[in-house]
Each structure stands twice: as C-alpha cells, then as structure tokens.
Structure 1
Amino acid sequence: MPNISLLSGGAAQALVKALEPAFAAASGYGIDGTFGAVGAMRAKLAAGPAPDVVILTAAIIAELAESGVILRDSVADLGDVATAVAIRAGDPMPSVGSAASLREALLAADAIYFPDPKLATAGVHFASVIEKLGIAAAIAPLLRTFPNGMTAMATLSEAAEARPIGCTQMTEIIALTGVSLVDALPEGLDLSTRYTAGVIALSANEANARDLVRLVTSEASQDARRRAGFV
C-alpha cells in the first residue's frame, strides 16, 4: 500500500493512529507518520525531505503558510490541547487544582517525567512552570526528560520510583493505559495549544494529502478528537 507521509507533533499521534484505518479504506493509502516534539519536527521539516502533510502548532503552521511551504487553502485546525499532569496508573491521585497544590505535589514526588524542555511544547512550558513555582533548583535532581511526551509517559508507566509524577500534553496521557490523567495545569500556570494541519506545497500527492487533512479536522472525526483529548 502506498503512503502519505506526515510530520506531526506528538500530541496528534494517537488521533492519527485511530483514524488511519478509515483513511486507508477511503483512499487506498496508509500513513507514514513521524511524531515527536514540535521543535524537533519543525527542524526535520527544514532539513528535508518534505512530507506530504504536517500537523504542528497553529503559530508554526501560519508561518509556514506565509512563507509558501504549506498550501494556505489546505490549512485547518484539529483543536486545542491542554498541558496536564499525569501519574502512574494505580498510584494515589494528587491534588493539582491550584498553584499551591501543584507545588506540593511536585515537591512530594521522587521523580518527575516530562518531554524535552527546549523542543517540546509541554516541556518548554513545564520548565517555565517550575521556575514560576520557585522550585526548579529543589526538584532538579528529580527531573527525567525525554525526546517527546509519549516516551516520557511510557517511561513513567514503568517507573521504579515510589512516587513518580509527570507532565505533558493531555492527548499523550490519555493515549496510554499505564498512566492516569490527574488534571490540566491550574489556572495561571495553564497552557492550551492549538494544533493545525496543512499540505506541503511540494507534495507529489496533493489530492490524497488534502483528504488526510480533511479527515483529521472534519466534523466527521470530531468525536475521535474529543476522545483523544482535543477540545
């Protein structure tokens, strides 16, 4: 089966995988997807070769459309994703509903799992959160960083520590059975990121690439997006 190539932020990975059978049935094409931290995916796009479709933050997609890398009339939003707190499945559920309770939960942990603080959307934000909470130095020995949120959560699910905790995009938490969603980050420390798809101008298979963008952003897939954690 031929493939449509895709570069995507990790927040959309579970959604794309869930919709791939429907796309294959309708188009006769599979999806050759590469998923990871948004910053890493942007660098990969710049390095080439060009994929057919990209799913990144709305701000980056807007820049790429403005520069002609993406076909402007193909751009469509998947929805917004909150940055959230996770625990290993079965562990006691901490309170994170306020800045004070989040601070307490992080200080009580013996390991903190999250994605790349320089390239991943959630990782960059979480690094700023612990600075704002005034605990960056205190918890530095506990920090466990990974290339992307899915890897961070998969590792959290098998953590050897007694009281591990994690933070990444909500969709990456919901996607894994070995971790449990606690809640979005509290007001004042929260982040909601819009993810957007578009077709690369150099795509050799524009028609099917447009079909993929329509599928992941259409009303028909709205329930799937909600189940995955998009709002």
Structure 2
Amino acid sequence: MATRKLLADLIDQYRRESGCRVSVTSIGGVEAVRRVQDGEPFDFAVLASGALERLAVDGHVAVARIEIVRSGMAVAVAAGAPHPDIGSAAALRDAILGASRIGYSTGPSGEHLLKLIARFGIAQVIGSRIVQTPPGVPVASLIASGEVELGFQQLSELTGAPGIEVVGPLPPDVQLTTVFSAAICSASQRQEAAARFLAFLASEQTDAVKRAHGMEPARGCTPR
C-alpha cells in the first residue's frame, strides 16, 4: 500500500507518454504475496524487496528485480494536535510513552516499530496501548478518527491523508528505509510489455513524482 498513490500517478504519466494502459491492484503486502503465490495472472508485482526475494526463491516472480523507490517511516498526529518532540531516539521513546494509544501497520514498518519498542525497553508498559491496523487499512484513518493518538507508517502513506498532520520522519539512528522493487510474475502472459513498464518505473523521468510522494528514487537491478 505504500506505493499505491505513487503508482497511480506514474501509471497516468505512462499512459500519457506511451499510450499504454496499466491496471494496478493495490492491497496489503501480505495479501499481495498470497495472491501471487496462488498463481493469479498478474504481470508484475511491486513489493518490499525482501518479499519479492522470497517469491523469487519459490519461482513465483523473476529472479531479476528492479529497485523503484526507497521509503522511510514517519510519525503523525491528528490535525491540530500538538506535535511531540521526535528529534532523537530518546525523544521518540518519550513520545511513545506519553501517547494514550499508538497505531502501526502490518509489514516492514510495523515490524520495525515493535522492534524499537522492545529496544527501548517499554513493551510491557505500553503493550495494551498499541493498535495494529488490519492489512490494507491505513494508520492515518485511525489517527483521524481519534482511535490512536500517535501513528507510525511509511511517509508516503501518511502524506496528504485527511485529518492528520505528519510530525516528521523517524530520527536517523532509528529510521527504517524500505526499498520497494518490482519483478515480473511467472504467471504473466505479457512479460515484454511488463518489462517496458518496469523500465519506465525505474527511469529518471519518474524521479520528481517519487519525491512528491515522500520517497527517494532507487536504481538497481539484481542479476539474472
């Protein structure tokens, strides 16, 4: 879901520039992996690189993967709410301790937050106050509704969400940068067309759109 809005804009750009139409189904990473494993006829998949690597080992996607973007985590609160200090790891720990409810997502960002809480030594203190969203449900919706006071997710998923304000990225020494990559699915019947679109996703002409969505361009390709 972290790349949902980005892909929507890039698909529109690709259609204007090439005349080719692309349809993307944006769902939670866990569900996306399951559907690719089940052999649904997707032409390509965009996921965190680790998830794609596991799919490649089992032969569900091509071994070669193209890196698309690097995405960091951020913290958000409800619109108009005070912004806690998150300028250091110690300040972030205090902000978490001071929040009545903390929201986080499934996938890499959620796993990272739980590790941070364990590292801070506060898991037992706040265990009853942390709320995990169901797969595909944005943390921003919990913040906007007042269900949680402090939310953690990929910056791209928080940017522009209604009813919330982004406090800022995690401090550098506790930040998690996730690389999202793309690979052609083994079930694809249009692999050449898929390869052309993936090359576009990794091209320099998409850099400005990626940055507008709070992500940094990533360029790399695993060997075949």
Same fold (TM over 0.5): yes
Quote the Cα distance in structure 1 between the aligned partners of 2:192 and 2:60. Answer: 17
Mapping 1:168-179, distance limit 5 Å: 168-179=153-164
Describe the shift of the 1:167–1:149 C-alpha distance in structure 2 as closer, same or farther (beyond 3 A): farther
Contact residue 79 and residue 195 of structure 1 kept, 8 A: yes
Deviation at 1:149, TM superposition (A): 6.6
Contact residue 149 and residue 168 of structure 1 kept, 8 A: no
- Please point out which of 185, 191, 208 is paired with 1:200: 185
Deviation at 1:65, TM superposition (A): 4.1
Partner of 2:6: 15
Deviation at 1:178, TM superposition (A): 2.5
Deviation at 1:68, TM superposition (A): 4.2
Partner of 2:70: 80
Counterpart secondary structure, 1:221: helix
Higher relative contact order (CA 8 A, sep 6+): 2
Q: Which has the higher strand share?
A: 1
What TM-score, normalized to structure 1? 0.83
Structure 1, unaligned stretches of length 5 or more?
Answer: 1-9
- Please point out which of 107, 114, 119 is paired with 2:97: 107
Deviation at 1:172, TM superposition (A): 0.8
Q: Percent identity, please.
A: 24
Quote the Cα distance in structure 2 between the aligned partners of 1:31 and 1:105. Answer: 40
Counterpart secondary structure, 2:121: coil
Quote the Cα distance in structure 2 between the aligned partners of 1:96 and 1:121. Answer: 20
Structure 1, 23-32 or 44-53: larger mean CA deviation: 23-32
Quote the Cα distance in structure 1 between the aligned partners of 2:190 and 2:104. Answer: 36
Mapping 1:146-161, distance limit 5 Å: 146-148=133-135, 151-159=138-146
Counterpart secondary structure, 1:188: helix
Counterpart secondary structure, 2:35: helix
The amino acid of 2:152's aligned partner reads C
Instruction: Kindly tell me the number of residue pairs found equivalent between the two proteins.
Output: 215
Structure 2, unaligned stretches of length 5 or more?
Answer: 217-224
Partner of 2:117: 130
Structure 1, 63-72 or 174-183: larger mean CA deviation: 63-72
Contact residue 78 and residue 230 of structure 1 kept, 8 A: no
Describe the shift of the 1:198–1:35 C-alpha distance in structure 2 as closer, same or farther (beyond 3 A): same
Quote the Cα distance in structure 1 between the aligned partners of 2:111 and 2:160. Answer: 21
The amino acid of 1:31's aligned partner reads S
